[in-house]
Amino acid sequence: MSSSPPRHGRRIALYTIIASLITTPLAALVLGPHLPPGHGSREAAAQVTDNTVLTVVMTPIACLVLVYFAYAAIVFRQRGTEIEEGATTRGHAGIQTAWIVSTTAIVLFLAGYGTWALLQTGSGSGQGPVPMASADGAVLPVQVIGQQWEFTYRYPTYGGLETSTLVLPAHTQVEFHVTSLDAIHSFWAYDLGVKADANPGADNVAIVRTGDARSFDVRCAEVCGLWHGYMADTGQVVDSASFATWVAGQRKAFAPIAGSMPPYRPTYQPDPQRRAG
């Protein structure tokens, strides 16, 4: 080391600030718009915003820690083969306090922001039978029934119509009621930013406002047995005229069996199952 010790702290702070000034705008402006799950619905778009905020908050922290360790690994390395002893610093009350205060502030901000974002409309997540963040305005209820190994969909406002494909009208607030007939599944409409577990005997509500007409992927996100890997289909968001036509067509097609369908209910308990018979 040179006779006048370099000011390591200032250098690390400088490098951290430079790195943060470069990477944080990149994270916000370049990476942010590409963060999942896209803009397929109001909830999905809100999640993209949320993910962008988290990324932007964490980028400078990542810069600090990575710059620090890279600097330390290079500058504080031992050059010779002799064992040399380092400094005897054992702690620093000011640094520790500053660290605790700043990390606490960041955590409280993140928790507060996440809660605020969640309370808007529930962020497309499964909210249980009585949603804390409820829909604002009129909704189209759609029931999602998971069973091994497919999803079926019921439209209670259209006579309990049950279909094997999910079609939703554009620019409509949809209230999914997710339930299961057997194992636990998870209804994941990726592009809509919706995920809600399907539990037997439970009604799990998720709210989403659809955007423009598009298709979206539906997958099961909770392992549910043999063909879990194939429990996927594609849904459609269509304009309201097409939706009305589609519903009418489905009702006509299923008219012969409509009478023998079980009435619409929030949950459907299968016959008591016992393993050992």
Interface of this chain with another protein, residues 7 to 66, rule: CB under 8 A = 8, 35-37, 43, 46-47, 50-51, 54, 58, 61-62, 65-66
Within 8 A by CB and 6+ apart from 81, the residues are none
Reduce the DSSP state of residue 13 to 3 states and report it: helix
Least distance (Å) from another protein to the CB of residue 218?
10
Least distance (Å) from another protein to the CB of residue 14?
16
Q: Is 107 in the site for another protein (CB under 8 A)?
A: yes
- Alpha carbon separation from 117 to 43, 107, 124 (Å, rounded): 10, 15, 11
Least distance (Å) from another protein to the CB of residue 25?
19
- Span near another protein by CB under 8 A; candidates 13-21, 75-83, 246-254, 257-265: 75-83
Closer of 18 and 72 to another protein (Cβ): 72
Cα 250 to Cα 258: distance, rounded to the nearest angstrom: 11
Least distance (Å) from another protein to the CB of residue 161?
24
Write out the binding residues for another protein, residues 111-140 only, by CB under 8 A.
111, 114-115, 117-119, 123-132
Closer of 10 and 90 to another protein (Cβ): 90
Of the candidate residues 7, 92, 252, 265, the single one contacting another protein (CB under 8 A): 92
Write out the binding residues for another protein, residues 145-204 only, by CB under 8 A.
178, 182-184, 186, 188, 190, 193-197, 199-204
Within 8 A by CB and 6+ apart from 6, the residues are 75
Provide the 8-state DSSP code for 80.
S
Tokens found for residue 27? 């994270």
Least distance (Å) from another protein to the CB of residue 254?
27
| Sheet of strand 194-198, all strands in order from the earlier edge strand to the far edge | 167-169, 232-238, 214-220, 185-189, 194-198
Q: Is 95 in the site for another protein (CB under 8 A)?
A: yes
- Span near another protein by CB under 8 A; candidates 13-21, 102-110, 164-172, 235-243: 102-110
* Phi, psi of 246, rounded to the nearest 5 degrees: -65, -45
Cα 151 to Cα 166: distance, rounded to the nearest angstrom: 9
Closer of 121 and 250 to another protein (Cβ): 121
Write out the binding residues for another protein, residues 257-276 only, by CB under 8 A.
269-276
For 15-37, give the secondary structure using H, E and C. HHHHHHHHHHHHHHHHHHHHCCC
Q: Is 67 in the site for another protein (CB under 8 A)?
A: no
How many residues belong to the site for another protein (CB under 8 A)? 97
Reduce the DSSP state of residue 101 to 3 states and report it: helix
Which amino acid belongs to residue 90? R
